Chains A and B, each alone.
Chain A
Amino acid sequence: MSWFIQTCRSSLGKKYIMALTGLMLGGFLVVHTIGNSTIFWGREAFNAYAHHLHSLGIFVPIFEIGLYSIFFLHVITGVILFLQNRAARGEQRYEVDKSAGGRTWGSKTMPYTGAAIFVFVLIHLANFHFVEKTEILTISDVVTAVLNNPGFTLIYIVGMGVLALHISHGFWSLFQTYGISHPRYDGPIRNVTWAVAAIMIVVFVLITLLLVVSQNHLLG
Chain B
Amino acid sequence: MASNTINIIVKIWRQNGAQAKGQFEDHALKDISTDSSFLEMLDVLNEWLARKGNEPIAFDHDCREGICGMCGAVVDGIAHGPEKETTLCQLHMRSFNDGDTIIIEPFRTKGFPIIKDLVVDRSALDRLIQAGGFVSVNSGSPQDANNILIPQNVAEQAMDAAACIGCGACAAACPNATPMLFLGAKVSQLALLPQGQAEAKARAINMVKALDCEGFGNCGNERECENVCPKGISIRNIARLNREYLKAQFSYDE
Q: Are A85 and B77 in contact (CB under 8 A)?
A: no
| Chain B residues, Cβ within 8 Å of A182 | 236
Interface residues of A in 1-26 (CB under 8 A from B): 3-4, 6-7, 10-16
Known: A94-B74, A96-B103, A99-B224. A87 touches B110 (CB 8 A): yes
Partner of B76, one of A84, A98, A108, A186: A98
Partner of B246, one of A97, A98, A179, A181: A179
Interface residues of A in 176-195 (CB under 8 A from B): 176-183, 186
Interface membership of A52, Cβ < 8 A: no
Known: A87-B110, A176-B235. A95 touches B105 (CB 8 A): yes
Q: What total of chain B residues lie within 8 Å of the partner, measured CB to CB?
A: 50
Q: Within the complex, what minimum Cβ distance (angstroms) separates A181 from chain B?
A: 4
Q: Are B108 and A177 in contact (CB under 8 A)?
A: no
Q: Within the complex, what minimum Cβ distance (angstroms) separates B218 from chain A?
A: 4
A-B contact count (CB 8 A): 141
Please, which residue of chain B has its CB at the minimum distance from the CB of A103?
Answer: B222
Q: Are B78 and A12 in contact (CB under 8 A)?
A: no
Q: Are A181 and B110 in contact (CB under 8 A)?
A: no
Q: Are A88 and B215 in contact (CB under 8 A)?
A: yes
| Chain A residues, Cβ within 8 Å of B211 | 11
Interface membership of A66, Cβ < 8 A: no
Most buried by B among A94, A97, A183: A94
| Chain B residues, Cβ within 8 Å of A92 | 22, 108
Known: A94-B108, A99-B224, A179-B242. A84 touches B217 (CB 8 A): yes
Q: Within the complex, what minimum Cβ distance (angstroms) separates B28 from chain A?
A: 18
Q: What total of chain A residues lie within 8 Å of the partner, measured CB to CB?
A: 45
Q: Are A181 and B235 in contact (CB under 8 A)?
A: yes
Q: Are A173 and B221 in contact (CB under 8 A)?
A: yes
Partner of A88, one of B24, B178, B208, B209: B178
Cα A85 to Cα B225 with chains together (Å): 15
Main secondary structure of the interface of A (DSSP, over half): helix
Most buried by A among B76, B212, B240: B212
| Chain A residues, Cβ within 8 Å of B227 | 99-102
Q: Within the complex, what minimum Cβ distance (angstroms) separates B216 from chain A?
A: 5
CB-defined A-B contacts under 8 Å, sample of 21 = A3-B249, A11-B208, A11-B216, A11-B219, A12-B219, A84-B217, A85-B220, A89-B108, A89-B176, A90-B177, A95-B11, A96-B74, A96-B77, A103-B224, A108-B222, A169-B221, A173-B220, A177-B221, A178-B242, A179-B240, A181-B235
| Chain A residues, Cβ within 8 Å of B242 | 12, 15, 176-179
Known: A10-B208, A100-B224, A103-B222. A88 touches B111 (CB 8 A): yes
Cα A129 to Cα B49 with chains together (Å): 70
Interface membership of B93, Cβ < 8 A: no
Binary flags per residue of A150-169, CB closer than 8 Å to B gives 1, else 0: 00000000000000000001
| Chain B residues, Cβ within 8 Å of A108 | 175, 222
Interface membership of B226, Cβ < 8 A: yes
Q: Are B175 and A90 in contact (CB under 8 A)?
A: no
Q: Are A88 and B226 in contact (CB under 8 A)?
A: no
Partner of B222, one of A10, A89, A102, A183: A102
Interface membership of A39, Cβ < 8 A: no
Please, which residue of chain A has its CB at the minimum distance from the CB of B229?
Answer: A100
Cα A96 to Cα B104 with chains together (Å): 9
Interface membership of B38, Cβ < 8 A: no
Cα A158 to Cα B82 with chains together (Å): 36
Partner of A180, one of B24, B175, B239: B239
| Chain B residues, Cβ within 8 Å of A107 | 220-223
Cα A107 to Cα B79 with chains together (Å): 19
Cα A173 to Cα B219 with chains together (Å): 10
Cα A4 to Cα B252 with chains together (Å): 12
Cα A97 to Cα B173 with chains together (Å): 10
Binary flags per residue of A95-133, CB closer than 8 Å to B gives 1, else 0: 111111111000110100000000000000000000000
Interface membership of B238, Cβ < 8 A: yes
| Chain A residues, Cβ within 8 Å of B110 | 87-90
Known: A89-B176, A181-B236. A15 touches B105 (CB 8 A): no
Q: A87-B110, A92-B108 known; 12 other A-B pairs, CB under 8 Å? A: A11-B217, A15-B219, A84-B217, A85-B178, A87-B217, A88-B177, A88-B217, A94-B108, A96-B74, A101-B227, A102-B227, A107-B220
